[in-house]
A and B are shown apart, each in its own frame.
Chain A
């Protein structure tokens, strides 16, 4: 190989430019093929659900479907709220105050996704070691605030975005 050939020349520039354009073109073709698998507009359109909660007595809960997932709406008794607030933060694997999981002035309403944060099963109510929920799939225990206490789930059950439209209606999403 002679010395001239080792230098960067026009041909090297053409190679690099061609590969670059080729890579950009390939990416532009691959992205639609990948992105088509993300939730489509019909799925995104199901983003809100309104729930009438006037029939729910304290201590009871209802389950509704939102975006294909169950949402637990639990009207808690004063004892349950007191129990949730008495828990020391150091006992929680994912520390979060009960106050931060409910709306101000609506302490009795706990609204959360009824989806175990481990692998997505629906936990059973009034079960487990902490007077809250228990996931039958892999044994995660949640307390009266839906916080993870024991088992493989890494985080507390998720509180979705929601608001009170009026005293008896909750809009999720």
Chain B
């Protein structure tokens, strides 16, 4: 994977590197040629790595004090909050860290959608990223169950019951997931086990994600292929490391703001009531990061249909690289797609809002419109706009727009030329 020959200076380093080329890997990561025009939307990869490590470290600590038993879990979380030294801090970092993780991942995904980072030759990076996103949702869901409050219990009930919509085997699958005839102690126990496992699976996929990224190299705001290394690139260190660090510090300010000033604003007060299998809370809503999918689920007046559309809303992203027919990557040069992109962003935000509202009246109507548009964006807009759109001229290189202050039409490629 090295782009160059590397020989350690010291004798010991050479001895070791001949046996395990870790130093070559380090040199590759340091020198890795990066497009020089990356903007701050590109700093979220580093931020996400920070989020994952934060969750793993705080999670390991919480597991030292938490008890995964239906009779003790709720009390043990309160014990962490009140008795354990700095337990409140570690738990609030972990619970708000989940929200920060999703905030960062959504920005990361929408950056990819805008600049066409999912397109050839980066489809595998995109798909691995989606697998990470799926595992993140599974981890977040199971983690939310662990405090064994009312929202934990009923969230677990509703989500596991999604599988009962599967014809014929649905009931057996839900019972198998529960290990009981309802959400109960065996369910809590296995969710704890899996909640501890999943972050390490994510970590493995992150390594693959970065590996796959380092094969073609980063996409960039202009979306054109660049020669590496060249005038268009800078070494990862120190140029990108310092930029990533600055962005991370800004992100940590927001993170700390939640942890220290409003640690419960993203949660639900119902989860401070111990789980009660006899009473469902009046308003049962998932965490904010799952609300758009929840709105899609509720907008369909049919159990199986709702479940299929909800999972379909995620799985359609896997074929996105093949639904987008445009040869131009970056939306900067796609005047029509750019507008649809922002409509799509608004559509997802609206669906999120509808997911938080009761499923009735105007909310239900808007949720249905939003659901139809969500799928239309991928199935109709992306293929059709890609074929019909007249794209703007694309610069020959990154240096050109940066150094001349705009694309010179004489140097620009025609939009129908191969990029």
Listed in ascending order, the chain A residues whose CB lies under 8 Å from chain B are 34, 37-40, 43, 63, 65, 67-70, 117-122, 135-139, 151-154
Contact = CB atoms under 8 A, between A and B. Distances in A.
B162 A119 contact: yes
Contacts of A153: 303
Contact of B298 (A34, A39, A136, A138): A138
Contacts of B180: 39, 43, 67-68
B190 A152 contact: no
Contacts, number: 87
Contacts of A121: 154, 157-158, 280, 284
A152 B283 contact: no
Contacts of B179: 37-40, 43
Q: Is the interface of A mostly helix, strand, loop or mixed?
A: loop
B277 A136 contact: no
A65 B182 CA distance: 11
Contacts of B278: 63, 65, 70, 122
A122 B303 contact: no
A152 B306 contact: yes
A154 B303 CA distance: 6
Nearest to A123: B280
B303 A43 contact: no
Q: Is the interface of B mostly helix, strand, loop or mixed?
A: loop
20 contacts: A38-B179, A39-B179, A39-B181, A43-B181, A43-B184, A67-B180, A67-B181, A68-B181, A68-B182, A68-B277, A69-B181, A70-B277, A118-B303, A119-B158, A120-B164, A120-B182, A121-B158, A139-B360, A152-B298, A152-B300
Contacts of B277: 65, 68-70
Contact of B176 (A38, A68, A117): A38
B302 interface: yes
Interface of B: 154, 157-158, 160-162, 164, 175-184, 186, 190, 277-284, 298, 300-304, 306, 358-360
Contact of B280 (A37, A117, A136, A139): A136
A119 B186 contact: no
A55 B43 CA distance: 66
Given A68-B184, A137-B284, 9 more contacts: A37-B190, A38-B179, A119-B157, A119-B158, A119-B303, A120-B157, A121-B280, A136-B284, A152-B301
A69 B184 CA distance: 10
B280 A39 contact: no
Contacts of A67: 180-182
Nearest to B70: A68
